[in-house]
Amino acid sequence: MSEPKTVQGTGSLRGEDEVVDLCRDLIRIDTSNYGDHSGPGERRAAEYVAEKLAEVGLEPEIFESHPGRASTVVRIEGEDRSRPGLLIHGHTDVVPANAADWTHDPFSGEVADGCVWGRGAVDMKDMDAMTLAVVRERMRTGRKPPRDLVLAFLADEEAGGTWGARHLVDNHPGLFEGVTEAIGEVGGFSFTVNEKLRLYLVETAQKGMHWMKLTVDGTAGHGSMIHRDNAITELSEAVGRLGRHEFPIRVTKTLRHFLDELSDALGTELDPESMDETLAKLGGIAKLIGASLKNTANPTQLGAGYKVNVIPGQATAHVDGRFLPGYEEEFLADLDRILGPRVRREDVHADKALETTFDGALVDAMQTALSAEDPIARAVPYMLSAGTDAKSFDDLGIRCFGFSPLQLPPELDFAGMFHGVDERVPVDGLKFGVRVLDRFLDAS
């Protein structure tokens, strides 16, 4: 790897000056992930990222796990190569979007009302753009990171990461040799408590998943007959029981730490067994925190039959199941009890839960960087109700955090942006994130 050097011909452009354009460019590349083998947009995104990295003297590699499913990885040598490396990972794929539902076209990268609009604006082309902006500025000015830095821009996260992070971890683990810590998505965003305190939620845990298919076999017959073995009826009743079930609150280490920090911030003791009042105080992050209190199982698809006058012999449903760290066995036992003996359950995709402690030099670096840009900042841990590519990197022994710093206006429904309509990220938030990430790299 060549020494970082000042690259001629780029002027005095700073990272925060170009981050908006980088984010808009990435949004304009339609990388919709439909959960199948297609993904030509991911290849275009990988090539775009590689070009932006190569422009400043780096030597990125593109790894294509399946035609069109491509990821870009590069290693930047640090000042002290004896230290363990740091990974910054982001995904370039997005969930699909129906343009008719949006105020601005989801793949236009429109700038309006102080925000960049589009699918991926917060999940997670904002962080991809911030990472590119920071690294490009540091390379232009010849500023090495304190230790080796590995950047990974990944395919397929929205469908479980099989063709992205999982492929690299299984087939190219040497890319991450010496890396012990990582930062990625859905963390480092702000929640304004009052004029004297702003919390920044750092993801230290995430739920495990069981995406599952439920099947009930019945007896096929004529729709006009009396029929007591109807697969649709049996499955519908089971799905209804599951969809209405209230799983119990379980206080994980991360939840306990978050509540302790929030109690201190609010000046009042919070009871994890009585959370309605607490959640009401959390505004736009209430959805994220509420989903981290308990296991969940949400029916998402139903299928049966082929003609109105034919009783089908089989009915199916799909369920998105998520379990807290340490509660997988309890979750599966609850599922089987709720569904009953007639329902056959099989995993479509399963992955583990993660949880790490909120301490150490990397956490200190996060707090230092945030405080330098926002004097009323306090970093606090939280659990993500979903999952990220961190699950794959955890298999390499890498300690993973969600830290994609954004300072957000209090009125923005940030949780609603993920996979939602009118996804957008504040322009000022992007620029703030660039400054924080740059300070974080120096402190880490």
Tell me, what's the pLDDT at 269? 77
User: Are 92 and 181 contained in the same domain?
Assistant: yes
DSSP structure string for 103-153: SS-TTS--EETTEEESTTTTTTHHHHHHHHHHHHHHHHTT---SS-EEEEE
* In a domain? residue 258: no
Mean per-residue pLDDT for 398-405? 98
User: Are 308 and 359 contained in the same domain?
Assistant: no
Q: Is the pLDDT at 291 greater than 70, yes or no?
A: yes
Tell me, what's the pLDDT at 6? 41
The DSSP 8-state label assigned to residue 32 in this structure reads: B
Q: Is the pLDDT at 158 greater than 50, yes or no?
A: yes
Q: Are strands 208-217 and 296-304 parallel, antiparallel or unpaired?
A: unpaired
User: Are 181 and 125 contained in the same domain?
Assistant: yes
Tell me, what's the pLDDT at 261? 85
Share of the chain above pLDDT 90, in %: 81
Q: What is the largest CA-CA distance in the chain?
A: 81
Confidence class for position 360, pLDDT limits 50, 70, 90: very high
Mean per-residue pLDDT for 33-53? 89
For the entire predicted model, the pTM comes to 0.91
* In a domain? residue 204: no
User: Are 224 and 87 contained in the same domain?
Assistant: no
How far apart CA 302 and CA 321 sit, in angstroms, is 15
How far apart CA 227 and CA 219 sit, in angstroms, is 8
Query: Could you tell me which of 30, 45, 23, 29 has the C-alpha nearest to residue 129?
Result: 23
How far apart CA 122 and CA 101 sit, in angstroms, is 18
Confidence class for position 427, pLDDT limits 50, 70, 90: very high
- CATH number for position 109: 3.40.630.10
Mean per-residue pLDDT for 50-63? 98
Tell me, what's the pLDDT at 39? 64
Mean per-residue pLDDT for 259-276? 78
Confidence class for position 193, pLDDT limits 50, 70, 90: confident
* CB-CB contact of 89 with 154 (8 Å): yes
Tell me, what's the pLDDT at 3? 44
Q: Is the pLDDT at 7 greater than 80, yes or no?
A: no
Structure confidence by residue, pLDDT tens digits, 212-241: 999 999 999 999 999 989 999 999 999 999
Mean of all residue pLDDT scores within the chain: 93
Mean per-residue pLDDT for 175-198? 94
How far apart CA 50 and CA 70 sit, in angstroms, is 11
Tell me, what's the pLDDT at 75? 98
Mean per-residue pLDDT for 357-372? 97
* In a domain? residue 253: no
Confidence class for position 248, pLDDT limits 50, 70, 90: very high
194 DSSP β-pair partners: 197
Tell me, what's the pLDDT at 214? 98
Confidence class for position 341, pLDDT limits 50, 70, 90: very high
Tell me, what's the pLDDT at 38? 67
Confidence class for position 352, pLDDT limits 50, 70, 90: very high
Which amino acid is present at 167?
Answer: H
User: Are 334 and 425 contained in the same domain?
Assistant: no
Q: Is 253 exposed, middle or buried (0-12, 13-18, 19+ CB in 10 A)?
A: middle
User: Are 361 and 346 contained in the same domain?
Assistant: no
Mean per-residue pLDDT for 288-314? 94
* In a domain? residue 200: no
* CB-CB contact of 146 with 78 (8 Å): yes
User: Are 83 and 223 contained in the same domain?
Assistant: no
Confidence class for position 263, pLDDT limits 50, 70, 90: confident
Confidence class for position 12, pLDDT limits 50, 70, 90: low
Structural domain count of the chain: 2
User: Are 120 and 227 contained in the same domain?
Assistant: no
* Residue 181 CA from chain centroid, whole number: 17
User: Are 123 and 146 contained in the same domain?
Assistant: yes
User: Are 127 and 92 contained in the same domain?
Assistant: yes
Confidence class for position 185, pLDDT limits 50, 70, 90: very high
The listed range with the strongest mean pLDDT (191-195, 278-282, 372-376) is: 372-376
User: Are 329 and 359 contained in the same domain?
Assistant: no
* In a domain? residue 215: yes
Instruction: Tell me the HSE value of 261 on the side-chain side, using a 13 A CA sphere.
Output: 21
* In a domain? residue 260: no
Question: For 50-54, 56-60, 254-258, 285-289, which range has the lowest pLDDT when averaged over its residues?
Answer: 285-289
Q: Is the pLDDT at 1 greater than 50, yes or no?
A: no
Tell me, what's the pLDDT at 8? 43
Give backbone dihedrals phi and psi of 366, rounded to 5 degrees, phi first: -60, -50
Q: Which two tokens stand for residue 336?
A: 């089987």
Cis peptide before 212 (omega within 30 of 0): no
CA angle 209, 128, 422 (to 5 degrees): 75
* In a domain? residue 6: no
* In a domain? residue 394: yes
CA angle 181, 183, 186 (to 5 degrees): 145
- CATH number for position 327: 3.30.70.360
Q: Please give the residue range of the domain that contains residue 77.
A: 15-185+354-368+383-443
User: Are 177 and 324 contained in the same domain?
Assistant: no
Mean per-residue pLDDT for 279-305? 87
Q: Is the pLDDT at 443 greater than 80, yes or no?
A: yes
Query: Could you tell me which of 417, 393, 396, 435 has the C-alpha nearest to residue 184?
Result: 393
